[in-house]
Structure 1
Amino acid sequence: MADKSWLENLPEAAQAYLEGRRLDEVECIVSDLPGIARGKAVPASKFVRQDYFHLPDSIFFQTITGDWGEAAGADGFIERDMILRPDMDTATAAPWTGDWTLQVIHDAFDRDGNPVPFSPRNVLKRVVQLYRDKGWEPVVAPEMEFYLVARNIDPAKEIEPMMGRSGRPAAARQAYSMTAVDEFGPVIDDIYDFAEAQGFEIDGITQEGGAGQLEINLRHGDPIKLADEVFYFKRLIREAALRHDCFATFMAKPIAQEPGSAMHIHHSVLDAKTGDNIFSDADGAETPEFYHFIAGLQNHMPDALAVMAPYVNSYRRYVKDHAAPINLEWGRDNRTTGIRVPLSSPAARRVENRIAGMDCNPYLGIAASLACGYLGMVEATQPKPEFKGDAYEGEGDIPRDMGQALEGFDAADKLQEVLGQDFGRVYSIVKRAEYDEFLQVISPWEREHLLLNA
């Protein structure tokens, strides 16, 4: 990057954003385990002269609370510098800033040039490469659910829906209502404007079943590119909400009596040579690989749940008859099952994972889901028979809390081999540190029911 010619090679949307303007600053960012953007903001004049920058590897040992897991390894907590190199294909606008700023996602390497194994983007790249080594090209399409809520600066206060355009709180459950979407019109307008400035294509925005709950669908594509977009979108949506005196939250279950927020992940797999969907044969029928992929989700997702449902709050989402699955049954066009096969043409045949929560790190959630499907295809296992009817009438077969999920994750040798054993070690340590911290908190329920009755 020795000269300014790099500006001419930026993605088209970034070039359009800067047309006729002088770039002031570049945000050099990387996703930590929770999915928070970590990095440095540097003047554009400095960015053009640097090929990399440094951050300590301890950013991947940090919990959601800002505490630290003892995950540094044999050398101890010395906060060794990583080498972070920009992926210029990810350069995009930061349109909410006061000056002309770009964001660029960086990849993390050690001093020998090896990918840092517990960097979330590297974990996803590892899984995608395993598919490509088999001659497969994985394709995903994420759906993002989230709530727009009233500003909440007191953790002791319950979260409430935001005030809509009509002046009434968004209290009605009006799924798919266009009037309900219009209640949040100014926020949605900014979401569209920011997304356009960043070069992102939104496939649609709908009102979901919760009060103030929205869903954004993204077009299918490369898993790494789509994870980058979800990573960017979380920040984009939060910034749009702040402009209108409300918060956007991606908590799995922010409001007790409302549905939770999921990141449904649609999967298909292409033959790398022909580009054909391997879930369909030449006659359009379902293939063995289609069934093996479903079996992989059924067999391995319980062990992967600690990644797809990464917080204690995540498990409050899995409530019977409350728009979230409670088991890993599969069915065609059945939204009560954890694994759904949507209506589609044979060329677009896909499998939808409805288990992952919107609170998961998008790189890790997609990586874990792909890993389960990959193991199913490699093992050539068969799924349980298709479930017919209401799957909420069945028994739950997924972990019910974070402790149980972590026990399964720690014992899942095959899953950790796919995701990377060093990632598994670090992830478990950090998540157990979070869980131990949570267990020290006394909840209002305990004070109400145990104080005088226990």
Structure 2
Amino acid sequence: MLTSTELAALREQLSGVVEIECVTADLNGIPRGKVMTVESFLSGRRLQLARGVLLQCVMGGYPAPRFYGSDDGDLVLNAVPGQVHVLPWSKPLRALAICDADELTGQGSGLSTRNLLKRVVARYRAKGLEPVVATELEFFIFDRHGDPRQPFQPPVGVDGRRESGFSAFSVSSGNGLRPFFEDVYRCMDAVGIPRDTFMHEMGTSQFEINLIHGEPLLIADQTFLFKHLLREVALQHDLLAVCMAKPLAHTAGSSMHIHQSVVDPKGQNIFTAENGAATPAFYQFIAGQQACLAGFTLLFAPNINSFQRLCNPYASPNNACWSYDNRSAGLRIPASGPEARRVENRLPGADANPYLALAASLAAGLHGLERQLQPSEPVTGEVEASPELLLPDSLQEALRRLRGSRQAREAFGEEFIDGYLACKALELSDFLGEITPWERRVLSTQI
């Protein structure tokens, strides 16, 4: 909850703003909340939201009320200090506040993915440790159109052509998107999201942005806000920003790789010893990831489309092998100096909820640290994962593995895991209730 001093500073910051979007991430990472007047916000009036909203399915609808309280009571949305932003793309001027979703008693809700991440970070801090993370988010930019039955198309470039897939790592402005990206950068600066590198990725009209490493809650907030910003700015340029895991067939999917390290109270990386060698903690962290990734896959690959991305074993490895600088392993150790030794989790897709993906990855590493687990041998070359290191390859299998994951229930609680499973089962059922164009095109004339 904001203090009187923080509210006074906000009063000056929000001068000229009429409305403020008070939002929190639901289980899918979608901003949910209410819009209130700035006067009401600054007055400290309590803003409440139905508990069930945090378990809303991507297609709308909710699981049975027993998963969020039979009376569907309210939660309180409390603005996070430092995460109230005037939105530079909004006319008339609006602001946005990222909020915690708390129970009426004041404790963080067990259904809030932001609160789940806070709990995991608190477990590290209880041991005198601080996790440090960075996200790399890939996304596609397409022409805007209103017919979801038609394939996505890249925008027409300044040369009058649509990009055809030969522009990976190009810095040319031939695709005509430079004005759009200049606007994205301007808006990132305005809301305080620093960026590291930006590049054209492997896919047609696919791009990647790397955010600066930092404290997990801050990085999750920035990633959450960036995805919202990206879509809003794209619409103003008559474009469509898509963070699906696999929006185009025969094209690389979009990931949200997570880089992870842990520092001690002196700020020293616990993965590196004084002589520069890897420490036992480094290997234990990797082993924890290996032990948990199969059970946690649905938290990193939350949609039916997520598993389309994982069909490509090189660009999107669906294994829990680890390697030194090998992108075909699910856990990669990037080339770096000893002080920057870190573990990259390559499983999460761009469609993953950043709060939940970071919470799950860090909880997995902590599982290894607490139990002093030992990893498998690192792999080299083309990876052929052993059966115990293969991850679920379908939403159905991921549901089954999460349902049986003792580690997930210990890390995130029965309430959240049961509600998450119920929501994902509904989404799968809704998908299976439709007949795809492939079925009509191929099977209608052959069977």
Q: Smaller-chain TM-score range?
A: over 0.9
Structure-2 change in CA distance of 1:37 and 1:404 (3 Å): same
1:286 to 275, 278, 283: 278
Q: 1:310 aligns with which of 286, 292, 302?
A: 302
Query: 1:35 corresponds to which residue?
Result: 29
**d(CA) in 2 for partners of 1:236 and 1:132?**
31
Which residue of structure 2 aligns with residue 241 of structure 1?
234
3-state SS, counterpart of residue 256 of structure 2: coil
Unaligned runs of 5+ in 2: none
Give the drift of 1:79.
2.3
Q: For 1:4 and 1:381, how far apart are their aligned partners in 2?
A: 47
The answer to whether residue 114 in structure 2 is matched with residue 121 in structure 1 is yes
In 2, distance between residues paired with 1:51 and 1:441?
Answer: 44
Q: Deviations over 1:277-306 (max 9, x none)?
A: 100011111011101111111121011110
* Corresponding residue for residue 380 of structure 1: 372
Deviations 1:320-374 (A, max 9, x none): 3552113222111111211110111111110000110010111011111111111
1:314 Cα shift?
0.1
Q: Does 1:190 align with 2:174?
A: no
Deviation at 1:165, TM superposition (A): 3.2
Opposite residue 184 of structure 1, the aligned amino acid is: L
Q: Distance in 2 between matches of 1:259 and 1:190?
A: 26
CA distance, structure 2, for counterparts of residue 390 and residue 135 of structure 1: 39
Question: Which residue does the alignment assign to 1:9?
Answer: 9
Residues of 2 paired with 1:312 and 1:351: CA distance?
27
1:452 positional shift = 3.5
Q: Percent identity?
A: 38
Which of 63, 74, 91 is residue 98 of structure 1 equivalent to?
Answer: 91
What secondary structure, in the 3-state scheme, does the structure 2 residue paired with 1:105 have? strand
**Is 1:54 matched up with 2:48?**
yes
Query: Deviation at 1:182?
Result: 6.0
What is residue 38 of structure 2 aligned with on the other side?
A: 44
**CA separation of 1:73 and 1:356: change in aligned 2, threshold 3 A:** closer
Partners of 1:58 and 1:72 within 8 A in 2: no
Whether the 8 Å CA contact 2:157–2:174 is kept in 1: the answer is no
SS of aligned partner of 1:91: strand
CA shift for structure 1 position 75: 5.0
Q: 2:206 aligns with which of 197, 210, 213?
A: 213
Aligned partner of residue 209 in structure 2, secondary structure: strand
Residues 255 and 346 in structure 2, CA contact (< 8 A), matched pair in contact too? yes
Aligned-partner residue type, residue 361 of structure 1: N
In 1, distance between residues paired with 2:406 and 2:68?
Answer: 21
Q: Is the 8 Å Cα contact of residues 71 and 430 (structure 1) preserved in structure 2?
A: no
1:375-414 superposed Cα distances (whole Å, 9 cap, x missing partner):
1111211111111112269878111110100110010012
Shift of residue 23, structure 1, vs aligned partner: 2.6
SS of 2:98's partner is strand
SS at structure 1 position matched to 2:267: coil
1:256 aligns with 2:245: no
Q: CA deviation at 1:236?
A: 0.6
Q: 1:383 to 1:322 in 2, by over 3 A?
A: closer
* Residue of structure 2 aligned with 1:296, choices 277, 288, 294: 288
Gaps of 5+ in 1: none
Structure 2 residue aligned with 1:164: 157
Residues 368 and 4 of structure 1: CA distance in aligned 2, closer, same or farther (over 3 Å): closer
Deviations 1:157-195 (A, max 9, x none): 112222223321122232211016863201101110110
